[in-house]
Chain A
């Protein structure tokens, strides 16, 4: 089946190519600063993580926060299946998991943003942190987050406080002080690591500098928390089979461009709304023939995930049931087919 409806073109790839350099410029100093700020909190690292029960490690479900997680009702289906393997959640999917009755074995957090990410754990300073920031209104994750009220946030704080001790928090040294404070207060068992942000063998490597600051082991992320969950499940937990859920890296065709994460930035780059379509290439999801479109950031994530899959011995299955992540080593599978194998 043809899997590309509107192919990527030179204009699009030009923006995609700039992403790593821009990200390095934006995040470089912040990551180093956070690594230093987090030093007093380092008690355990990935080296201290006990190996999981081999029977459970036959498989791992990586739960991410793409729009399919809600549309496909994936969490309810996982819970009702009696799935017995490991569950690794990205921070953005954590509260959705808890609300659905799924307590992850591990939650990963990575993004260094100083005020946004703490909301995934319930933010005690939400009023300060949300002033002048419409980030959550532009995320197509959970309506509850988009309308995020103070009451909702307080419920999230209570929910996380209640369950935190049952989940290991796999926390990157890049995490903000707000996330670290919140994780400590909630009572997580925390395991620290450094994100691999460049080639540590290269002169002047930032990754090497992070390790010199804190001595932590380093792990690749593919550029996003979901990618870090994938690498963690495959290389640290050594799951024989890893299934991805909520890993869309794209948007449902009925999502207006205006509601996507980069629309306003891309509109600026392009010089207006008219003719902006090339910045949003379209893919056809092979299991259903549905159309999904993407943007430069998500496309970059997709390419990273496919690259990582090619390096792993682990079998990778995409049970997202939508989106644009599929390739030679990433087969798409209905979620039930995967769950039935691991009851």
Chain B
């Protein structure tokens, strides 16, 4: 079908075909799943500030 349509009209804007990524290996998929689980049991870790109530600058207390 693409061969039939090719070149019989002009598009107004240039079209960039999406680049296809090579399929992920099983090992890489498992690695990503493992990392997701490791980070999946918590809310993020960030030390500063300890309390913040939207004062615009990020008030630090403690």
Contact = CB atoms under 8 A, between A and B. Distances in A.
Given A211-B54, A231-B50, A269 B62 contact: no
Interface in A1-47: 15, 18-27, 31, 47
Interface string B26-49: 010011011111111111111111
7 contacts: A27-B42, A111-B42, A196-B50, A220-B47, A220-B51, A261-B41, A268-B34
A218 B52 contact: yes
A112 interface: yes
B47 to A, nearest CB: 5
A312 B62 CA distance: 5
Interface of A: 15, 18-27, 31, 47, 110-113, 172, 174, 195-201, 207-208, 211, 215, 217-224, 231, 234-236, 261-262, 264-266, 268-269, 271, 296-297, 300-301, 304, 307-308, 311-314
Given A20-B44, A201-B57, A308 B39 contact: no
A196 B49 contact: yes
A18 B62 contact: no
A265 B43 contact: no
B61 interface: yes
Given A15-B38, A23-B43, 20 more contacts: A15-B35, A19-B42, A21-B39, A23-B44, A27-B40, A27-B43, A196-B46, A196-B49, A200-B58, A220-B47, A220-B48, A223-B44, A234-B62, A235-B50, A235-B51, A271-B27, A301-B42, A304-B47, A308-B47, A311-B62
A15 B44 CA distance: 15
B38 A265 contact: yes
B24 interface: no
B52 A223 contact: no
B50 A308 contact: yes
Contacts of B50: 196, 219-220, 231, 235, 308, 311-312
B43 A112 contact: yes
B43 A199 contact: no
Contacts of A231: 50-51, 62
Contacts of A27: 40, 42-44
